Chain A
């Protein structure tokens, strides 16, 4: 197991390097660069001095260098902990990302937790009462959840919240806690604001996971050893939870690992719509204006998060399922 972990971590590094190169190229693919876009924006509001002023900044931002050189400069400083400077914000990327990354991770983890806590019991419930009214309703709700894009759901929830309930929108903290140092009260406030984004991001995954859980469990409940257990006289709940669910859960853990990209992407999109102080809005803006160091750095961190998540999922699977033994 330890060797596995070490080997996987060792694999992450070349993967990150390749991904960083690909992202750098992708970010710079659209014609023009940050400055051409900046000029457009400024001219659209009537600043005709824009073109003159901004063209002179090309050298200052290093945008006149060939792409591979810009990449190498960036990698060089990245390794020393300097993630470059954002063109738009004109300050260090490290300063901008810091707290937002932590919040993004928190939201993603909470969403995972929410997904599991809802999906697994719901799936078990549906499977054990197959074709009942409850089963049908849960299936119906989950189909809706899976087919609705999460930004749309976010907008609808926000609209309903503002217009029909009069609640505020956006942000993860009430005004009095925004700048306050961390405390229990602030944490509780965060949780109270967190549920809307978590529900929005998690709903599609929850629905999907619920369907999978239900399907797996139904498969297993049809197996012969379950029949044996029942005929042994075991309590139904024991049959279901100790024998069936324990086996059905294994594929779920693997799937959890695959859900990470969806959650991260969902978090980005949803936080843009809901104006959360997480990575999302920053990332989208950086991509739109080709703020390449900011966008590139965020991509690296999201990838890292994804890889670590997958590794943890594999480890969890190895721990939970005694049938799986990784070769040493």
Chain B
């Protein structure tokens, strides 16, 4: 800890520096004087904490947050819920990765790190950390911690809990064995990562949700006491495996607005404000406003709903997973003392929606049929989407073809917006005449006495096997499936429902033995999560065999055809472009291919309001947010550290 005289000198310096202009990336007037929460002021007065100016980073590296509504008041406890020990819902509230999404989902901006810089050809990226930024216990956060993570955790062959980060591997040529990049420390607050080939995506990957950054948050001064390399008294890594879980270890230093003070496995976790948090509001008040977060673990969805309507929960975003519970939520607002956060949506591009397997394994006729755009279009035009919307979502969804999230920044430029409108309407009408024409054109023009369309190869009635599964919600899928079965009967397609358990459904998905299945699609940035549009091989989607070929460099799977090859080329072109915002046109071209050759994804409804709720007195929550895709960090990207209780 710093000595008292140093506090005084620094305070003077801080006051002097306090008049300097905004930090990197945000044009905000720098507050001249900082203030803090009363509970911290007490501790400062008692000599247990350095004064607030000491605790913040150097003034130009302090992050200034503009409140959504007004400068807030200190105090209060937010009660919330989580579903399991992973606490994903809570980690999304404490979203502070090195690079982050901005509040309205229009850009990536610096977050925990001050900024980043690539070299000429994109093979090396330098990250600049915020100078003077400290862990929640006062120790400086420096490249020592980064190095500790890299060498003593990630690259440590004896420690399996943290692996070398997947995003640091690049394939020298597409399909070749990926090679791990290197990390070098430049100085106390600067480090550099080097790769064999250009890897412009790294900063954007770090901004996705919390999971890519989380392993990097490794406080060396705390964890080394459990690490055999640093503490000879420790024999193995068993304790380190548990202690490194910051959300389950009281006393584990964090860099977020709150840190863990209590954890009862399977029951409850309590977080308290981080006295060394590196953000202030526009008036110089150190954030967060709220003193504590208390979250109860409730795995059962109905019980969570009951707790919310009972008024026991101050903030809930994803705890009630489906808009179908909105009526109950709305009915009980007054009694529960909460308000529905109208305007917060799932942002699904298709929910529910179907994927038509383009690489069907086991029956060549089916494979050819499913690749026929006439077949896909015939199926799409015979769906009564309005009716399904009413039946499944009480009319709350937006009826459209399956797309990526409407609010995706790819659709911001006018050309992108026009493309989205076209895509959303793509064969999305209900037109049985045209549907029948398309299905006839697909070779299914023969029907039997009962009216079922017959296969062209053997004259048997066509059977469309529909995998239901849990992706998007088992109930939603099952109910939609029943409606689809009836609707497709009207055009002579016989649907057989497959309600197998999830592992079975997933096996079929991975192997390519499924015909059509339900999924939920919500994506905002295709360069960090390409798989819905670009089949680059990380995930299965509509081309399980061709994508497998790409993923294994030709060792397994099937050689890509024209469509996949074109999409892949577009992707490779894209990631070679340094600035992510210059790549939108490639996305548009890829979407046009999907439209011209598909629709491979047949959507029914999209958008969908989410039953997010907040205490009536909890303010500074924006009117709009997206909760479906986790990558953009919602609600964390709306700066929950500036939510406050109006007293």
Contacts and interface: CB of A to CB of B under 8 A. Distances in A.
Interface residues of B, number: 50
B267 interface: yes
Contacts of A90: 85, 241-242, 245
B106 interface: no
B335 A163 contact: yes
Contact of B265 (A44, A45, A89): A89
A163 B300 contact: no
B211 interface: yes
Contacts of B267: 277
A277 B303 CA distance: 14
B212 A45 contact: no
A60 interface: yes
A88 B471 contact: no
Nearest to A175: B294
User: Lowest 9 CB-CB distances: which A-B pairs, in order?
Assistant: A60-B160, A46-B630, A162-B310, A32-B503, A31-B503, A52-B166, A45-B630, A275-B303, A89-B85
B161 A49 contact: no
Contact of B211 (A32, A49, A281, A284): A49
Interface in B289-330: 296, 298-300, 302-303, 306-307, 309-310, 312
B167 interface: yes
Interface of B: 84-85, 88, 160-161, 163, 166-167, 208-209, 211-212, 241-242, 245, 248, 264-268, 296, 298-300, 302-303, 306-307, 309-310, 312, 332, 335, 471, 501-504, 506-507, 520, 522, 529, 531, 538-539, 629-631
A168 B300 contact: no
B503 A30 contact: yes
Given A47-B211, A48-B538, A60-B161, A273 B303 contact: yes
Interface of A: 30-32, 36-37, 40, 42-53, 56-57, 59-60, 88-91, 95-96, 100, 155, 158-159, 162-163, 166, 168-170, 178-179, 272-275, 277, 281-282, 284-285
A298 B209 CA distance: 34
A49 B306 CA distance: 34
Contact of A46 (B245, B266, B300, B631): B631
B300 A272 contact: yes
Contacts of B504: 31
Contacts of A275: 296, 298-300, 303
A84 to B, nearest CB: 13
B503 A37 contact: yes
A45 to B, nearest CB: 5
B506 A36 contact: yes
Contact of A168 (B241, B298, B310, B631): B310
Contacts of B506: 32, 36, 40
A36 B332 CA distance: 39
A155 B85 CA distance: 24
Contacts of A44: 471, 520
A43 B520 CA distance: 11
B298 to A, nearest CB: 5
B310 A46 contact: no
Nearest to A98: B265
B299 A281 contact: yes
B261 to A, nearest CB: 12
8 contacts: A32-B503, A32-B506, A46-B529, A53-B163, A53-B166, A275-B296, A275-B300, A285-B299
B268 to A, nearest CB: 8
Nearest to B304: A275
B503 A36 contact: yes
Contacts of B303: 158, 169-170, 273-275
Contacts of B309: 162-163
If over half of B's interface residues share one DSSP class (helix, strand or loop), that class is named, otherwise mixed; here it is loop
Contacts of B529: 46, 48
A37 B529 CA distance: 21
Contacts of A60: 160-161
B163 A45 contact: no
A166 B245 contact: no
A166 B335 contact: yes
Given A57-B160, A60-B160, A169 B307 contact: yes
Contacts of B629: 46
Given A31-B504, A40-B506, A91 B265 contact: yes
Contact of A47 (B266, B298, B503, B630): B630
Nearest to A290: B503
Contact of B242 (A59, A91, A158): A91
Residue among A42, A45, A96, A163 having the largest count of chain B Cβ atoms under 10 Å: A45
Contacts of B266: 89, 96, 100, 277, 281-282
A285 B166 contact: no
Contact of A163 (B248, B307, B332, B520): B332
Contacts of A46: 208-209, 522, 529, 629-631
A163 B312 CA distance: 12
Given A47-B209, A49-B166, A277-B267, A285 B302 contact: no
B84 A30 contact: no
Nearest to B308: A162
Contacts of A53: 163, 166
A95 B84 contact: no
A166 B299 CA distance: 22
Contacts of A284: 299
Contacts of B161: 57, 60
Contacts of B306: 158-159, 162, 169-170
Residue among B242, B266, B335, B522 having the largest count of chain A Cβ atoms under 10 Å: B266
A56 B631 contact: no
A88 B507 CA distance: 22
A33 B29 CA distance: 54
A155 B302 contact: yes
A59 B501 contact: no
A91 B332 CA distance: 39
Contacts of A37: 502-503
Contacts of A155: 302
B471 to A, nearest CB: 6
Contacts of A168: 310, 312
A53 B212 CA distance: 11
A88 B84 contact: yes
B543 to A, nearest CB: 16
B549 to A, nearest CB: 17
Residue among A166, A274, A275 having the largest count of chain B Cβ atoms under 10 Å: A275
A184 to B, nearest CB: 23
B507 A31 contact: yes
Contacts of B167: 49
Contacts of B166: 49, 52-53
A81 B99 CA distance: 46
Nearest to A45: B630
Nearest to B160: A60
A60 to B, nearest CB: 4
